């Protein structure tokens, strides 16, 4: 048993609506089809195959991305033989990248910058470099949880994790920690207000702790949609953001900015682990930050709200939850709807909610070109149905009403096979079953 999960396993196991035990690392119940990260990886690989077949048959415009991650690769032709060159390139643009990253995250002129192949990699490396052998305190919005990379980072660093929601007494844990991680906006888009984040930062600094803000979404969502301050203006030592979500076009990478010595330590640890971003990725991060336009985020948010309103009208406001970027339906609620449509009870079922949403996602992708995290999320990603349209997503799949009709159609198709475990397994994992 890892140090990072001792506390969770010593308590009564959490269970979902159907009585399935929830894996404390990923926050959802595993079943007989999606048993571990290995099956999640197989599901992802199958999802990629399904997407490729659709593109080969109908062209790239036949798919709309509803993950909230645009994932372009915005290098320029002149970058290919200069900035993307592995030996010379990083030195050519290092200062330019540092300056634009500092501006984006509201840092200080002498701050450092490091780029990682994923935001998760940056979080893991920072924990490994800066936890100091003590438990990490993770503060998250009420009712939500840390990203799986925080849990796994603590396990790899062999330190404990104290996760506290914003409505609980987080102050009592700060004295025990060298590193405090504050998730300002979670992947479910639950959000802390700036005043609360500042209070955590101030208390942590009084205790001599280092503060990292997980700003994967928050670096843009808070200032652009809610009038908040830029990340490092909140007083933290470090902030990390994702370069392919909430208005940034890609690539998939994480950029860390903050006190130069701490950034250097995290970057060095990432290099030890092979998690640093190589020259072409970092060059694309530079171009992505340079061309960031807040209007793109407001457009995404407006499209998401239009879709949320339509899905609420079809499924009910009590079923559909709204985030800043679009509608969400909890995985338990999805399975409950499927059971109702199939006219069966949960006792007749061998699948768990994450498998129901994975099956729904595969059908949405194959039949309607709607690409979601349910097919393309990495192991540990949330498994609720989340529809966060990127800029051209709605147009690519026929508009808002087409998406609502597709969700209804695919729920019926899952209901038709939900008691057939082999059919569900084939749908979710394909040839990787």
What would the pLDDT profile of 152-196 be if each residue is shown by its tens digit? 999 999 999 999 999 999 999 999 999 999 999 998 899 999 999
DSSP 61: G
Task: Give residues with Cβ within 8 angstroms of 398, minimum separation 6.
Answer: none
The answer to whether residue 9 sits within a structural domain is: no
H/E stretch holding 119: helix 119-130
Record the tokens describing residue 8, joined without a space: 């969770």
163 & 188 share domain = yes
239 & 378 share domain = no
Dist CA 302 CA 305 (whole Å): 5
State the CB neighbour count (10 A cutoff) for residue 281.
20
Using alpha carbons only, give the angle 228, 233, 239 rounded to the nearest 5 degrees.
95
Identify whether the C-beta of residue 239 lies closer than 8 Å to the C-beta of residue 232.
Answer: yes
Predicted local confidence at residue 12, as pLDDT: 67
The answer to whether residue 8 sits within a structural domain is: no
Predicted local confidence at residue 70, as pLDDT: 85
Q: Is 2 exposed, middle or buried (0-12, 13-18, 19+ CB in 10 A)?
A: middle
- Helix ranges restricted to H, 111-255: 119-130, 148-157, 171-174, 194-206, 218-220, 226
Record the tokens describing residue 295, joined without a space: 């209007």
Q: Is 195 exposed, middle or buried (0-12, 13-18, 19+ CB in 10 A)?
A: exposed
Identify whether the C-beta of residue 27 lies closer than 8 Å to the C-beta of residue 18.
Answer: no
φ, ψ for residue 169 (rounded to 5)? -85, 85
Q: Which of 147, 127, 149, 131 is nearest to 139 (CA)?
A: 147
Dist CA 48 CA 389 (whole Å): 18
Q: What is the CA radius of gyration of the chain?
A: 21
286 & 306 share domain = no
144 & 243 share domain = yes
Residue 137, beta-bridge partner list: 162, 180
90 & 232 share domain = yes
Dist CA 302 CA 325 (whole Å): 8
28 & 159 share domain = no
Identify whether the C-beta of residue 371 lies closer than 8 Å to the C-beta of residue 363.
Answer: no
314 & 202 share domain = no
The parent domain of residue 91 ranges over 77-290
Domain CATH for 245: 3.40.640.10
Record the tokens describing residue 25, joined without a space: 């690392």
End-to-end CA distance of the chain: 29
81 & 227 share domain = yes
- Domain final residue, candidates 290, 311, 326: 290
309 & 273 share domain = no
30 & 84 share domain = no
Dist CA 119 CA 117 (whole Å): 7
DSSP 190: -
Record the tokens describing residue 163, joined without a space: 């996760």
Dist CA 86 CA 227 (whole Å): 39
The distance of Cα 354 from the centroid of its chain, to the nearest Å, equals 16
The answer to whether residue 7 sits within a structural domain is: no
- Domain final residue, candidates 290, 321, 336: 290
Task: Give residues with Cβ within 8 angstroms of 424, minimum separation 6.
Answer: 33, 351, 355, 359, 417, 418
The answer to whether residue 2 sits within a structural domain is: no
- Domain final residue, candidates 290, 309, 329: 290
Tokens 């025990």 belong to 176
Domain CATH for 422: 3.90.1150.70
The answer to whether residue 344 sits within a structural domain is: yes
Predicted local confidence at residue 71, as pLDDT: 84
247 & 343 share domain = no
Q: Is 367 exposed, middle or buried (0-12, 13-18, 19+ CB in 10 A)?
A: middle
Number of domains in the chain: 2
Record the tokens describing residue 345, joined without a space: 């009870």
Q: Is 8 exposed, middle or buried (0-12, 13-18, 19+ CB in 10 A)?
A: middle
Q: What is the pLDDT along the chain (433 residues), one digit of tens a residue?
A: 233 343 433 356 899 999 999 999 899 999 999 999 999 999 999 999 999 999 999 999 999 999 988 888 999 999 999 999 999 999 999 999 999 999 999 999 999 999 999 999 999 999 999 999 999 999 999 999 999 999 999 999 999 999 999 999 999 999 999 999 999 999 889 999 999 999 999 999 999 999 999 999 999 999 999 999 999 999 999 999 999 999 999 899 999 999 999 999 999 999 999 999 999 999 999 999 999 999 999 999 999 999 999 999 999 989 999 999 999 999 999 999 999 999 999 888 899 999 999 999 999 999 999 999 999 998 988 999 999 998 899 999 999 999 999 999 999 999 999 999 999 999 999 999 8
89 & 221 share domain = yes
């Amino acid at each position: 048993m890892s140090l990072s999960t001792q506390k969770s396993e010593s308590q009564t196991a959490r269970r979902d609506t159907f009585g399935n035990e929830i894996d404390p690392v990923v926050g959802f119940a595993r079943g007989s089809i999606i048993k571990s990260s290995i099956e999640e990886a197989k599901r992802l690989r199958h999802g990629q195959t399904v997407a490729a077949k659709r593109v080969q048959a109908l062209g790239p415009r036949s798919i709309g991305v509803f993950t909230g991650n645009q994932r372009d690769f915005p290098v320029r032709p002149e970058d290919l033989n200069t900035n993307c060159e592995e030996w010379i390139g990083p030195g050519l643009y290092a200062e330019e990248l540092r300056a634009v990253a500092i501006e984006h995250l509201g840092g200080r002129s002498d701050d450092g910058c490091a780029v990682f192949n994923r935001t998760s990699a940056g979080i893991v490396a920072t924990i490994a470099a800066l936890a100091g052998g003590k438990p990490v305190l993770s503060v998250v919005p009420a009712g939500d949880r840390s990203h799986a990379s925080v849990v796994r980072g603590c396990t790899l660093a062999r330190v404990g994790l104290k996760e506290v929601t914003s409505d609980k007494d987080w102050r009592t844990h700060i004295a025990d920690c060298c590193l405090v991680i504050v998730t300002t906006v979670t992947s479910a888009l639950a959000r802390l207000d700036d005043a609360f984040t500042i209070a955590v930062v101030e208390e942590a600094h009084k205790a001599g702790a280092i503060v990292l803000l997980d700003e994967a979404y928050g670096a843009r969502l808070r200032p652009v949609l809610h009038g908040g301050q830029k990340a490092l203006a909140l007083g933290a030592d470090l902030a990390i953001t994702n370069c392919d979500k909430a208005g940034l076009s890609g690539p998939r990478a994480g950029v860390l900015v903050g006190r130069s010595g701490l950034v250097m330590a995290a970057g060095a640890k990432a290099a030890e682990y092979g998690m640093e971003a190589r020259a072409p990725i970092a060059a694309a991060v530079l171009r992505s930050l340079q061309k960031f336009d807040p209007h793109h985020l407001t457009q995404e948010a407006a499209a998401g709200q239009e879709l949320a309103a339509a899905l609420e009208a079809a499924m009910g406001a009590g079923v559909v939850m709204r985030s800043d970027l679009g509608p969400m339906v909890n995985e338990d609620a999805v399975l409950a709807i499927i059971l109702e449509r199939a006219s069966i009870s949960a006792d007749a079922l061998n699948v768990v909610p994450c498998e129901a949403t994975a099956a729904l996602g595969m059908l949405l992708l194959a039949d309607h070109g709607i690409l979601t995290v349910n097919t393309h999320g990495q192991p540990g990603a949330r498994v609720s149905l989340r529809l966060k349209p990127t800029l051209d997503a709605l147009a690519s799949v026929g508009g808002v009403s087409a998406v609502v009709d597709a969700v209804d159609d695919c729920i019926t198709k899952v209901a038709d096979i939900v008691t057939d475990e082999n059919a569900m397994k084939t749908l979710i994992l394909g040839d990787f079953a």
